[in-house]
RNA sequence: GCGUUCAUAGCUCAGUUGGAUAGAGCAACGGCCUUCUAAGCCGUGUGUCGGGGGUUCGAAUCCCUCUGGACGCACCA
């Protein structure tokens, strides 16, 4: 039964206020001792011209109490206590029958969501900053998919732009071809950093770089060949990281993919009278929107990222007919996306309103920013490897007899890193700290995985016992059992909120709560040695339901579970 | 200077969209493994919710203002 709805209907039948209005007012008390649901009567006070306390008192005496243990009136609040056994039984059995699909729905059937995430730049290292977009985007992909949306994961690879002019300039002068063979990203990073050092002394290099990029756009063979080579080498490296993370995309259409689609966009802007010339560049003036102009074509005739983003948005609309077009890109680009969406709107594209920029904070060191240009970066691969070897060490320490230790270490270590990235509000900056990210105690990925493994261990033992009894929930009334069941039943709320706010951390927080609640119960109430047969069986069901929810929730975050650890 | 955004315990952060005594984790200290995995559980302490106004029966949450930080502000992405 949907308690909020039921309560609202019963109250609506007594007083003359719409049930939906009442439903919105119902809340969950801060302390379970106060009740499971509550209706604050302060808002009703004005309309009914009575004191909140009197309203609550009158409702208590007249409301239908079926399905509730008791209903209290406490200082203006109407507090509802639901019948525990009936609730836990229904919740738990429902979760088990839905299994891997628990939490899923068809709410988004027929709607397509394009999600642009990860999008690293070719010829640059995939560093710890890139994981933010990658992890958030991947989780959103799974969240939307779980609700029946058709999600399209797009890796908008940064394989075009002025940086290639710089790289080609640097390649021509300083590349070490042996080093490039052995460790392509390192060598490309080295010459990219050297370019910026040299350009400080000799600004002419910047001009040469721009010329090379223009030549690339015009299809000159030398530039094109080098571009291809660097792209192939980079993609190989990126795919190594995606394999470690277990992430795949539906499309790798990067910036270069739109190279032949930009002229049409520029023509269209021209035809719609939106282009003006300013200091030799072609721009769309956005004064009316209190924004700087959006540059479409630079004064040297080359395009810029805004042009490519316009072409990409139009392409995605035509190709996917999206319901939402989501960009998981750092918050520092907020203005850029506002400009692009506004230009789309000015072009007459209504889908502009369905384009969403999902921003997130910076990953930085304690004292400074990560900077590819200066070479101040930590490779994500190094972080992941470090996390894996740390968890491998812990396994050796704590449980050396486990099988497949390497595989376990990988799932735990990488899961820990992803979990950390998805734990907090995405708008927050992440201050990169090795000790913190490699700490596996407390509210961490390993904690949740450990909880799952504990639950699975109990279920394994139970299945080996010669035990069978029909589950009987009538005695399942302790606060721990009831609280855990309530949490498990709230999985969908967490998912829906996460989707509404494009915020995976809501699911991360939720699964931490489930794990905490489970561990508390685990320590207080024996399960396998429970003497009441019916209750033991019911508790086993609760354990099973808990493992299902943990597994499904972690899966929405892109994290795997382990059976033992 | 303009714009966006943030400020909650020593540190890192939650806070269910305005509700009941503001909560976790880490760090510190103490307790719990001959009983289901101690990567766990239990206990102990700390707050002018950045300051000041306002709206409201009621504000960490909404509005204004000040202070401090982050990010952005046309030919990088």
- Residue range A375-392, pLDDT digits in tens: 678 899 999 999 999 999
pLDDT tens digit sequence for A432-472: 888 889 999 999 999 999 999 999 999 999 999 888 889 99
The verdict on A15 and A159 lying in the same domain is no
| A356 within a domain of the structure (yes/no) | yes
The verdict on A155 and A16 lying in the same domain is no
CATH number at residue A220: 3.40.50.620
pLDDT reported for residue A549: 98
Distance A560 CA to B32 C1' (A): 31
* Three-state DSSP state, A430: strand
pLDDT tens digit sequence for A69-83: 999 999 899 999 999
- Structure confidence at residue A488 as a pLDDT band (50, 70, 90): very high
| Boundary-marking domain end, from A32, A60, A82 | A82
- Structure confidence at residue A16 as a pLDDT band (50, 70, 90): confident
Distance A53 CA to B57 C1' (A): 12
User: What does the alpha-carbon distance between residue A234 and residue A192 come to, in Å, rounded to a whole number?
Assistant: 14
Cβ(A348)–Cβ(A381) below 8 Å: no
Residue where the block lists tokens 């006070």: A45
- Structure confidence at residue A339 as a pLDDT band (50, 70, 90): very high
Q: How many CB atoms lie within 10 A of CB A360?
A: 24
| A429 within a domain of the structure (yes/no) | no
pLDDT reported for residue A17: 85
| A284 within a domain of the structure (yes/no) | no
User: What does the alpha-carbon distance between residue A461 and residue A465 come to, in Å, rounded to a whole number?
Assistant: 6
| Boundary-marking domain end, from A67, A82, A97 | A82
The CA–CA distances, whole Å, from A565 to A215, A389, A552 equal 56, 15, 19
Structural domains of chain A, count = 2
| Residues 475-534 (A) near nucleic chain B, CB < 7 A | 497, 500-501, 505-506, 509, 516, 519-520, 522-529
Cβ(A132)–Cβ(A425) below 8 Å: no
Cβ(A88)–Cβ(A476) below 8 Å: yes
The verdict on A169 and A54 lying in the same domain is no
| Residues 137-196 (A) near nucleic chain B, CB < 7 A | 158, 160-163
Domain boundaries, position A52: 3-82
The verdict on A24 and A77 lying in the same domain is yes
Secondary element (H or E) of residue A379: none
Tokens of A418: 């992803």
The verdict on A69 and A121 lying in the same domain is no
Q: How many CB atoms lie within 10 A of CB A367?
A: 6
The verdict on A168 and A310 lying in the same domain is yes
CB of A51 lies under 7 Å from some atom of strand B: no
CB of A27 lies under 7 Å from some atom of strand B: yes
CATH number at residue A45: 3.30.1360.70
User: What does the alpha-carbon distance between residue A518 and residue A546 come to, in Å, rounded to a whole number?
Assistant: 7
User: What does the alpha-carbon distance between residue A20 and residue A24 come to, in Å, rounded to a whole number?
Assistant: 6
pLDDT at A45 over 90: no
* Three-state DSSP state, A113: strand
SS (H, E, C) A310-358: HHHHHHHHHHHCCCEEEEECCHHHHHHHHHHHHHHHHCCCHHHHHEEEE
Strand order in the sheet with A37-40: A37-40, A77-82, A68-74
The verdict on A229 and A337 lying in the same domain is yes
CB of A396 lies under 7 Å from some atom of strand B: no
- Structure confidence at residue A297 as a pLDDT band (50, 70, 90): very high
CB of A130 lies under 7 Å from some atom of strand B: no
Strand B bases near protein CB (under 7 Å) are: 3-6, 12-17, 19-21, 23-27, 35-42, 57-58, 70-77
Distance A333 CA to B70 C1' (A): 14
Name the nearest CA neighbour of A216 among A230, A227, A206: A227
More confident residue, A197 or A321: A321
- Structure confidence at residue A367 as a pLDDT band (50, 70, 90): low
| Residues 412-431 (A) near nucleic chain B, CB < 7 A | 412, 423-425, 427-431
| A160 within a domain of the structure (yes/no) | yes
Q: What is the dihedral of CA A331, A336, A342, A344, to 10 degrees?
A: -110
pLDDT at A235 over 80: yes
φ and ψ of A371, to 5 deg: -140, 110
- Structure confidence at residue A368 as a pLDDT band (50, 70, 90): low
| Boundary-marking domain end, from A44, A60, A82 | A82
């Amino acid at each position: 039964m949907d308690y909020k709805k039921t309560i609202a209907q019963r109250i609506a039948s007594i007083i003359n206020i719409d049930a939906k209005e009442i439903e919105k007012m119902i809340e969950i008390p801060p302390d379970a001792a106060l009740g499971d649901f509550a209706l604050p009567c302060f808002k009703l006070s004005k309309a009914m011209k009575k004191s909140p306390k009197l309203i609550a008192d009158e409702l208590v005496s007249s409301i239908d109490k079926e399905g509730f243990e008791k209903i209290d009136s406490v200082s203006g609040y109407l507090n509802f206590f639901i019948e525990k056994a009936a609730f836990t039984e229904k919740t738990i059995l429902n979760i088990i029958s839905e299994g891997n699909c628990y939490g899923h729905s068809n709410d988004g059937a027929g709607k397509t969501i394009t999600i642009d995430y990860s999008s690293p730049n070719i010829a640059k290292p995939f560093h710890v900053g890139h994981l933010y977009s990658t992890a958030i985007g991947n989780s959103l992909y799974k969240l939307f998919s779980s609700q029946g949306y058709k999600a399209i994961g797009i890796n908008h690879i940064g394989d075009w732009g002025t940086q290639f002019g710089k790289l080609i300039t640097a390649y021509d002068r300083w590349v070490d071809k042996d080093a490039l063979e052995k460790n392509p990203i390192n060598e490309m990073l080295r010459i990219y950093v050297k370019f910026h050092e040299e350009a400080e002394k000799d600004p002419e290099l910047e001009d040469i770089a721009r010329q090379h990029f223009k030549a690339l756009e015009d299809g000159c063979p030398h530039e094109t060949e080098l571009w291809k080579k660097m792209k192939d080498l980079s993609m190989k490296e990126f795919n190594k990281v995606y394999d470690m993370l277990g992430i795949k995309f539906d499309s790798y259409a990067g910036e270069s993919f739109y190279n032949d689609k930009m002229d049409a966009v520029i023509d269209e802007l021209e035809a719609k009278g939106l282009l003006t010339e300013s200091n030799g560049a072609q721009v769309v003036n956005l004064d009316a929107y209190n924004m700087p102009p959006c540059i479409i074509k630079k004064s040297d005739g080359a395009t810029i990222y805004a042009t490519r983003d316009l072409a990409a948005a139009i392409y995605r609309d035509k190709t996917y007919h999206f319901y939402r077009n989501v960009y998981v890109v750092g918050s520092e680009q907020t203005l850029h996306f506002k400009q692009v969406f506004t230009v789309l709107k000015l072009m007459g594209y209504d889908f502009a309103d369905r384009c969403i920029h999902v921003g997130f904070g910076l990953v930085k060191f304690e004292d400074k920013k990560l900077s590819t240009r200066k070479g101040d970066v930590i490779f994500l691969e190094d972080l992941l490897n470090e996390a894996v070897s740390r968890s491998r060490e812990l396994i050796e320490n704590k449980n050396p007899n486990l099988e497949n230790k390497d595989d376990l270490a990988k799932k735990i270590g990488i899961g820990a890193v992803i979990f950390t990235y998805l734990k907090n509000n995405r708008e927050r900056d992440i201050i990169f700290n090795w000790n913190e990210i490699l700490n596996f105690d407390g509210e961490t990925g390993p904690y949740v995985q450990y909880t799952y493994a504990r639950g699975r261990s109990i279920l394994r033992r139970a299945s080996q016992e010669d035990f069978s009894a029909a589950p009987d929930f009538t005695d399942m009334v302790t606060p721990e059992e009831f609280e855990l069941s309530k949490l498990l039943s709230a999985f969908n709320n967490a998912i829906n909120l996460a989707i509404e706010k494009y915020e995976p951390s809501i699911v991360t927080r939720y699964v931490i709560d489930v794990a905490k609640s489970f561990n508390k119960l685990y320590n207080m109430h024996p399960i396998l040695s429970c003497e009441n047969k019916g209750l033991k069986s019911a508790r086993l069901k609760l354990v099973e339901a808990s493992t299902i929810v943990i597994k499904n929730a972690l899966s929405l975050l892109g994290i795997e579970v382990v059976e033992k650890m």
